[in-house]
Amino acid sequence: MKRINGEIWPDAEGNEIHAHGGCRLAFGKALYWYGEDRRGDAYVSCYQSLDGGKTWRFVRHILTADSPVKKIHEGRDLSLRNSDGNRVNIERPKVIYNRNTGKFILWAHYEDGINYHAARCAVASCDTPDGDFVYHGSFRPVGYMSRDCTLFVDGDRIYFLSASEHNRDLHLYRLTKDGLDVEVFVQKLFAGQSREAPAVIQKDGKYLLVTSFCTGWKPNQCAYAVADRMEGEWSENLPLGDATTYLSQPAFLYEREDGEIVYFGDRWGGNAFAESAFDRSQFDYQKSAYVGYRLVFRDGKAELIHSHEAFL
């Protein structure tokens, strides 16, 4: 199915896909696409594709304001509604399969739906990729602020990256074997550079980390850094794409069967917001759309290829 960058994309039933700031998981014969759905009491939607990502069928909301809750650690806030009884914000949900335990783990960014002061991560888990996830609460990892985030599986290790210290620094954490807690704060990356929307991929022995700058919903120029090991030294940030990363912010990166890398991003507010030259009064989250661009990663250098039609 042909998809145009920035246009509304329908699912297999013709309904608009709501899966922002999300992630993609290959499991068994299926692909799963998870992301934010900010309508009503829905938090995280799950779509499944059985044709390699051409069509996506909505499966269910795997996390909602009414999800089951299970306390697994002290000191975590288990509420899925705020003090007014309204929805909270569960942003940038990332789901991975934890081969150590056979469970599916979800980490996301939690805010109380009133402001962006909580700066916490949120954790949930499930026995299946598309079942009802059980919520284990929100907290600050090792006491640090935590906003935009991603998960990355590297062999039997699971990493969590999130923007900390009022978004000034990006933190890299290694998780416990069960993937439900932080084992160790590995390192601070790009101190003072205000990077967010992290996305990681490993290819040909190199790790590539793409981030955006912090400008709210308005797009800016992304940057990339390269390392030989997640816990090793990361290169300096180099620019990626044009001044607005072709009107997008990263959600995730994935490798296609033919070895090509896809940069999958959100166009917050959709083409309407871009056309208003990012006038904040014109911003409507529900009009947000997606982009897929080809990312060429060779000899430690990355380049983003602009296209009208999505490269997926």
Shortest Cβ distance from residue 233 to ligand DGJ (Å)?
A: 26
Strand partners, 119: none
Q: How far apart are CA 174 and CA 30, in angstroms?
A: 27
Give least dist CB 302 to ligand DGJ, A.
Answer: 20
Q: Considering the rule CB under 6 A, would residue 11 count as an interface residue with ligand DGJ? A: no
181 belongs to the binding site for ligand DGJ (CB under 6 A): no
Which of 197, 199, 210, 247 lies at the binding interface for ligand DGJ (CB under 6 A)? 197
**Secondary structure (3-state) at 254:** strand
196 scored as a contact of ligand DGJ (CB under 6 A):
yes
Element (H, E) at 274: helix 270-275
State which residue has the least CB distance to ligand DGJ. Answer: 216
Q: From the CB of 89, what's the least distance to ligand DGJ, in Å?
A: 8
265 makes contact with ligand DGJ (CB under 6 A): no
Secondary structure of 257-273 in HEC code, one letter for each residue: CCCCEEEEEEECCHHHH
- Shortest CB 267 distance to ligand DGJ, Å: 12
Residue 287 sits at φ, ψ, to 5 deg, of: -90, 5
Cα–Cα dist 3/13, whole Å: 15
Site string for ligand DGJ, 135-174 (x = CB under 6 A): -------------x--------------------------
Q: Which of 249, 252, 263, 291 binds ligand DGJ (CB under 6 A)?
A: 249
Answer yes or no: are the C-beta atoms of 228 and 205 closer than 8 Å: yes
Identify the helix (H) or strand (E) that includes residue 275: helix 270-275
Q: Minimal distance in Å, beta carbon 276 to ligand DGJ?
A: 16
3-state SS, 94-142, equals EEEEECCCCEEEEEEEEECCCCCCCCEEEEEEECCCCCCCEEEEEECHH
Binding to ligand DGJ by residue 92, rule CB under 6 A? yes
20-59 mask for ligand DGJ (x: CB under 6 A)?
A: -x--------------------------------------
d(CA 229, CA 1): 37
* β-sheet bridge partners, residue 5: none
Tell me whether residue 98 or residue 146 sits nearer to ligand DGJ (CB atom). 146
**In the complex, what is the shortest distance from the CB of residue 203 to ligand DGJ, in angstroms, rounded to a whole number?**
24
C-alpha torsion sign, points 136, 151, 109, 38: negative
- Site residues (CB under 6 A) for ligand DGJ, limited to 271-290: none
- Site for ligand DGJ, rule CB under 6 A: 21, 91-92, 148, 196-197, 216-217, 249
